[in-house]
Amino acid sequence: MTVTTPSELIHHTVLLDEAVDALNIQGARINGVYVDGTFGRGGHSRKILSQLGPQGRLIAFDKDPYAIANAEQILDPRFSIVHESFADMHTALSDLGIDRVDGVLMDLGISSPQVDDAERGFSFRNDGPLDMRMDTTRGISAAEWLAHEDEQKIREVIENYGEERFAFQIAKAIVARRASESISSTRQLAELVAHAVKTREKGKDPATRTFQAIRIFINKELEDLEIGLVAAYDSLAPEARMAIISFHSLEDRIVKQFFASKVKVAQPDRRLPIREADLPKPHMRLISRMKPTEQEVLRNARARSAIMRVAERIGAN
**114 labeled binding residue:** yes
pLDDT mean over 5-30:
82
Q: Is pLDDT of 148 > 70?
A: yes
Distance CA 248, CA 246 (A): 6
**42 labeled binding residue:** yes
Among the candidates 194, 218, 242, a domain finishes at 218
Q: Are 268 and 279 in contact (CB under 8 A)?
A: yes
- Assigned domain for 4 exists: no
**39 labeled binding residue:** no
The pLDDT, as a whole number, for residue 115 is 85
Distance CA 291, CA 306 (A): 6
**43 labeled binding residue:** yes
Question: Which residues constitute the domain of residue 205?
Answer: 136-218
Question: pLDDT (tens digit, 9 = 90+) per residue, 262-271?
Answer: 998 665 556 5
214 with 300, same domain: the answer is no
Q: What is the CATH number of the domain that holds 200?
A: 1.10.150.170
pLDDT mean over 107-123:
87
- Assigned domain for 153 exists: yes
300 with 153, same domain: the answer is no
3-state secondary structure 66-114: HHHHHHCCCCCCCEEEECCCHHHHHHHHHHCCCCCEEEEEEECCCCHHH
Compute the Cα dihedral for 9, 14, 19, 21 and give only its sign.
positive
Mean pLDDT score of the chain: 91
pLDDT mean over 83-89:
97
Distance CA 130, CA 187 (A): 9
The pLDDT, as a whole number, for residue 204 is 85
Question: pLDDT (tens digit, 9 = 90+) per residue, 198-229?
Answer: 877 787 899 999 999 999 999 999 999 999 99
Q: Is pLDDT of 134 > 80?
A: yes
For 87, 140, 181, 203, 300, the CA distances from 175, given in Å and listed in that order, are: 33, 18, 10, 28, 37
**62 labeled binding residue:** yes
Among the candidates 203, 218, 233, a domain finishes at 218
Residue 281 Cα to chain centre, angstroms: 29
pLDDT mean over 75-99:
97
Residue type, 49: L
Task: List Cβ neighbours of 180 (8 Å cut-off, separation of 6 or more).
Answer: none
Pure H helices in 266-305: 294-299
**44 labeled binding residue:** yes
pLDDT above 90 as % of the chain? 80
149 with 291, same domain: the answer is no
Among the candidates 187, 218, 249, a domain finishes at 218
Distance CA 76, CA 95 (A): 20
- Assigned domain for 22 exists: yes
The pLDDT, as a whole number, for residue 5 is 44
64 with 23, same domain: the answer is yes
Taking alpha carbons only, the member of 97, 91, 102 closest to residue 35 is: 102
